[in-house]
Structures are given as C-alpha cells and as structure tokens.
Amino acid sequence: MNVKNIMVIGAGQMGSGIAQVCAQAGYSVILNDLKPEFVERGLGIIKKNLSRQVEKERMTAEEMEAVLGNVTVSTDLQDAKNVELVIEAAVENMEIKTKIFSQLDEIAPEHAILASNTSSLPITEIAAATRRPEKVIGMHFMNPVPVMKLVEIIRGLATADEVYQTIEDITKTLKKVPVEVNDFPGFVSNRILMPMINEAIYTLYEGVATKEAIDEVMKLGMNHPMGPLTLADFIGLDTCLYIMETLHEGFGDDKYRPCPLLRKYVKAGWLGKKAGRGFYVYE
C-alpha cells in the first residue's frame, strides 16, 4: 500500500518525535492531541529538535522549513478521514487506547492501517476494539525517537502479512531498524528492561547499596550508558510501575511483582525527571 498521509495521535515526547521523523522522511503528517496547547507544545519540541540540527550544520534552515511544512496540527480525530496510516502515541492505558481505536475505526478509510506505539499493552486486545483487526499493528519506537534506531513491530493475532510488510517498509524509510516481535506482554524491550530496573530498585530498597553505587556498577561493570535508576527517572516511575503491573498481570508470575519502593515513590508524586524528583532530584 502506498502511504503518503500519516496522523500521529498524542503530541507528547513520543508523539512529537514520531511526527518529526515521519515529516523528515517526506510524509504529510497531522499531529493530533486533545487541546491546542498540547499540539503547540508538541510542535515546539519538533522546532527545537530541528533548530539544534541546523546549529550543528546537519541540516539547512531551508530543509528545516520544508520539514515543518510537512506537519499540520489538529485537535479533531475526524482529520483521520484522509490518511493511510494512523500512529497512536497516547498515554499507556488500555481503556484510552481502545476508545481511540474504536473511534478511528469509524473515521479512518477502510484501507487505513492503525498502529499503536504502546510499550507493553497487547496489540490483539487493542485490535479487538475495531472491525479491522488485520490492519492493526504495533510500532514501538524508542525514546528519544529522532535519535534511537530501533522500532519493535508487533503483530497482533490477526495482523495481515501485507500490513506487516507495509509497516516494515515505512520504518526503513524513517531510517529506523524494524525488528519483528510477537504479541506478548512487554514485547522484547520492556520484558527484559523493566525487570532489570525493578531489580535495581529492590537492591536499593533492601539496602544493598546506594543509588549512586547501583548505577555506577551497571555503567562501569556492564557498559550501560546510564544506570538503571537514572534511566527509570528518565522513563518516568509511573510508566515503569504501569509496565511492571502489565507484565505481572499478563504472565501471572511473581518475578514481575513491582518493588514496594517503586509504588511508594509513585504515590508520593516522585515520578522522575518530569516531576523534578525521582530517585534523584532535578533542578
């Protein structure tokens, strides 16, 4: 299928990044969110990212304007009626996602593919909210989207081969590396990453070492670019907790039980970098 027009739903950090890479690849992009201030903030993130590229002379000012010219903003889901692909990057919540997909099923053209940037929720369940489960697929981008190469492509139970192939081809045009993954809780990335972060939190909780020491061991000993507790702060502790709960519920195995300290921090509103405080304090 020939895709020229893409709608990205959710103008947060992930959604704006996805919209940016799609616009840079020459697609016509509609960046959608609930309120005008949300989409304007998302557009601001894109402008800031591109301006940095111009400053570093990786892009000309003319190229930046051309990319921005590929992006239009929207607060109305009805704008999905003329697109061939929708990439949903809303909050990581099944109820919200299934509601969006049910609405998109009514609005988007019959041939349109509906993709979710979910980091842990089952694509098969999201697809069940539509009458086109064969056209529903997962496209899990990594954060920050403009920098990170990986896209996990997740097949739902009913995802058609040609839909998978279209999404794999589009991923390559975005200069990303597609990796095919089947529909299990957490897929590959978060099934491996989140228990490691959770175990690091248990190590702190049980007083084995300080947060600085735990991060230093993983950086210097395992060659990780940042320690797991710093990484958790960057991801958001509420997101980490939600993914651990999804793994725990999905597999029914206590090895995925979220650490009580993680729950305590989330209840305290210490959500990481975005809140100014998590395992570390941010100015």
List the catalytic residues: 119, 140, 152, 190
Is residue 116 annotated as involved in ligand binding?
no
> Are 271 and 278 spatial neighbours (Cβ–Cβ below 8 Å)?
yes
Is residue 11 annotated as involved in ligand binding?
yes
Is residue 13 annotated as involved in ligand binding?
yes
Is residue 56 annotated as involved in ligand binding?
no
Please report, as a single letter, which amino acid is at residue 213: A
Is residue 233 annotated as involved in ligand binding?
no
Three-class HEC string of the chain: CCCCEEEEECCCHHHHHHHHHHHHCCCEEEEECCCHHHHHHHHHHHHHHHHHHHHCCCCCHHHHHHHHHCEEEECCHHHHHHCCEEEECCCCCHHHHHHHHHHHHHHCCCCCEEEECCCCCCHHHHHCCCCCHHHEEEEEECCCCCCCCEEEEEECCCCCHHHHHHHHHHHHHCCCEEEEEECCCCCCHHHHHHHHHHHHHHHHHCCCCCHHHHHHHHHHHHCCCCCHHHHHHHHCHHHHHHHHHHHHHHHCCHHHCCCHHHHHHHHHCCCEHHHCECCCECC
Is residue 74 annotated as involved in ligand binding?
no
Q: How far apart are CA 256 and CA 246, in angstroms?
A: 9
Q: Is the dihedral of CA 249, 275, 87, 153 positive or negative?
A: negative
Is residue 274 annotated as involved in ligand binding?
yes
According to DSSP, the residues that pair with 277 across neighbouring strands are: 272, 281
Is residue 70 annotated as involved in ligand binding?
no
Is residue 139 annotated as involved in ligand binding?
no
Is residue 97 annotated as involved in ligand binding?
yes
Residue ranges of the annotated binding site are: 10-15, 33, 92, 97, 119, 143, 274
Residue ranges of the annotated binding site for NAD(+) are: 10-15, 33, 92, 97, 119, 143, 274
